[in-house]
Amino acid sequence: MYKIEADVEKNLLILHLEGFMSDEELKNGAQELIDLVSSKMKPGFIVINDIAKMKPASQEGTEHIKKAQMFVAQNGVARIIRVTDNPISKMQMSRTAKSAGYIAEEAKTMEEALDRVNELVSA
């Protein structure tokens, strides 16, 4: 399951990825993310990527993730904060992020990630 929230006022995207996601679901999620970045986000946007409950993706699913990561990295993202718990999902996302050209910050909880965003937005 995935859910993408866009807070245009804060220039923030929040991604929730949970459980085992099919290749089709990852493909749709990647396209939705690309569409949101293209239509609603301004350069300097922030992404919180909550993968704390995500199971590792298949090889094909990983390619969809990498496509979205590359698009975000090339289209004005300022910071990416990853909330993670599963060491295998964390390793998989770190590997695809590196090949997409960025390194994500890590947060232990969604609250910690949101606190960091609020500090940035209010600064």
Reading the block at residue 116, the tokens are 């960091």
- Quick check: 90 pLDDT over 70? no
To the nearest 5 percent, what fractions of the chain are helix, strand and coil? 50, 30, 25
pLDDT digits (tens, 9 = 90+) for 93-121: 667 667 767 778 889 899 999 998 988 77
- Quick check: 4 pLDDT over 80? yes
Q: What is the CA radius of gyration of the chain?
A: 13
77 lies in which domain range?
A: 2-122
Q: How many domains are there within the chain?
A: 1
pLDDT digits (tens, 9 = 90+) for 6-54: 999 999 999 999 999 999 999 999 999 999 999 999 999 999 999 989 8
Please report the pLDDT score of residue 97 as a whole number: 67
Reading the block at residue 64, the tokens are 């969809």
* pTM score, whole prediction: 0.86
**Residues 6+ positions from 61 with CB-CB distance below 8 Å:** 21, 22, 23, 26, 27
Q: Any idea what the CATH number is for the domain that residue 88 is in? A: 3.30.750.24
pLDDT digits (tens, 9 = 90+) for 50-83: 998 988 889 999 999 999 999 999 999 999 999 9
